[in-house]
Chain A
Amino acid sequence: MQTVFQKPKALTDVTMHYCPGCTHGIIHRLVAEVLDELNITEKTIGIAPVGCSVLAYNYFNCDFIQAAHGRAPAVATGAKRANPDSVIFTYQGDGDLAAIGTAETVHAATRGENITVIFVNNGIYGMTGGQMAPTSIPGMVTQTTPYGRDVKTAGYPVRICEMLATLTGTTYAERVSVDCVKNVLAAKKAIKKAFQNQLDGKGFSIVEVMSTCPTNWGLDPVKALDWARENMLTYYPLGVYKDNE
């Protein structure tokens, strides 16, 4: 018998602190598999966000810089400009990328920075206990929208892929999901392309990964996947929004 599936080398043996069923673990693994397959771990610098995945630097075997909330694309810009031979990726949640870091995100994209951005969108602020995110969908109950997100007072969610696709500087923007095996495999393909683009010097690539937050959605992990499929994916359609080949 041969081993057909095992832990990628780019992942450390440190136990991940994420909640049971949290899809961060799947997404980390996909990134690690891509680093293994492209054989780039040694020259990769990850930029960790503030959020549940703040400790990402403990889970990967590559260099890491821990950035201030939202600033990862700016840190990535500085690192890539100073050291273009390294492979730089940011890993950010919806607060980090779409709230406090919106300016840094938009400008890294419009400058066409040759970096890879992994955007984990679960429509909620996990680490701080489940508050509304810019990507929380209308009607969504969170700690700071206890009666459901009311668009009259809290506005509408922001669709990042669509928004960044309007910028000439964005090379590749795809929205994927990790709610089922088929989508996980497609997500990996997209992530691999986003890294390959950087190796080919093609410019700014972002993969928006629709994810779950069982704990703060108040659902068990399997039901959370169903809820994401029925509610999040209808608001955030999967697909390629930009692809400058």
Chain B
Amino acid sequence: MAEKVLMKGNEAVAEAAIMAGCRNFFGYPITPQTEVAAYMAKRMPKIGGTYLQAESELAAINMVIGAASTGARAMTSSSSPGISLKSEGISYMAGMDLPALILNVQRGGPGLGGIQPSQSDYFQATRAIGHGDFHLLVFAPSTVQEMVDTTFLAYDLADKYRMPALMLLDGILGQMMEPVEFKESHKAHMDDKPWAVGTACVKHEKNIINSLYLQPEQLEERNFERFKRYETIKKTEQRCEEYLTDDADVIVVAYGASARIARNAVRAARANGLKVGMIRPITLWPFPEKAIKDAAKTAKAFVCVELSMGQMIDDVKLAIECSRPVTLVNHTGGVVMTPAEVLTGIEKAYGGVK
């Protein structure tokens, strides 16, 4: 029988990771995600897992590399500037085809920025997490329950496609408390990893976990093969929620915390007789291009709601090939928009016509 518990976002993800089979957490304190580390520090020793407070976020991602190479499920968590520190390690993980879970509880930036929430690491997560041609699976849940559900999905897809997964949260989602249900379906699906090193995995001759390919033809081939996997993912793993979009003239696109705010504005707009809907991406990579492109067939305008200077808006424009006007309602630096501000943006998109 499923139990409903009131949990803080950061802690719920940690618990979900443990239930998904993660026994290796390497982290470092940084606001607003330190609760993940603190929770892991309490839970891991009790279940024979490893909690290690690394000397830096940079060391932590390299510890994830070590653990993941042995076939274990590993995790690290940080916030914006700390994720920048992991950049090198994440690029290596992509080149080594290593699965693991990385959590970014975004805060204001750039630089040391602020400790209040933002969504200004969208570009980093989907385009520029590290050098070289590669992508991460990027997930953007918007409720604590969805954060739990997504953790299992993230690990399963990371293992299936042999790549790192990043869950893009923000300070609001990390800190908020909501009821969470841990269901029967929340199980660890752990398959054999014939490529792994060490003694804890399938018996093997000799495995090398490596990203160095000095022969250009070989390195190109590795990239081509990886992008074939990415193509499969783009075809089959796009996820989003469509809310009141069937007859919508204006579509709001928002993820995570800003989607929660936008949903209120969409309801208010509908109450005022405006035909508005929302597409809420749940995967940011692969971006839900199909749903957005389909919506552009009938919708007349799009409004992006972001806690940034406008980053996801580029992907919306690309998805619809700039066929419709796309506008932005935004705040950044830790300032959070109100539903009223979003409603104003929606009305503007209508040309001010009610």
Contact = CB atoms under 8 A, between A and B. Distances in A.
B200 A83 contact: yes
A71 B89 contact: yes
B62 to A, nearest CB: 4
Contact of A64 (B68, B200, B209): B209
Interface stretch (A55-63, A122-130, A177-185, A210-218): A55-63
Nearest to B207: A63
Nearest to B209: A65
Contact of A107 (B24, B55, B208, B212): B55
A196 interface: no
Interface stretch (B34-42, B69-77, B224-232): B69-77
Contact of B206 (A61, A79, A106): A61
Contact of B26 (A57, A78, A80, A85): A78
B interface, over-half SS:
mixed
Interface in B91-140: 92, 96
A45 B210 CA distance: 13
A86 interface: yes
B198 A63 contact: yes
B50 interface: yes
Interface size, A (range): 20 to 34
A213 B128 CA distance: 38
Given A45-B198, A71-B89, A79 B210 contact: no
Given A82-B200, A85-B199, A66 B209 contact: yes
Contact of A43 (B54, B92, B199, B212): B199
B50 A64 contact: no
A76 interface: yes
Nearest to B64: A78
Contacts of B211: 66
A74 B198 contact: no
24 contacts: A45-B70, A63-B206, A65-B65, A67-B92, A68-B88, A68-B89, A71-B65, A74-B59, A74-B60, A74-B62, A75-B65, A78-B26, A78-B62, A78-B63, A79-B198, A81-B24, A82-B72, A85-B198, A85-B199, A86-B200, A103-B59, A104-B62, A107-B55, A111-B52
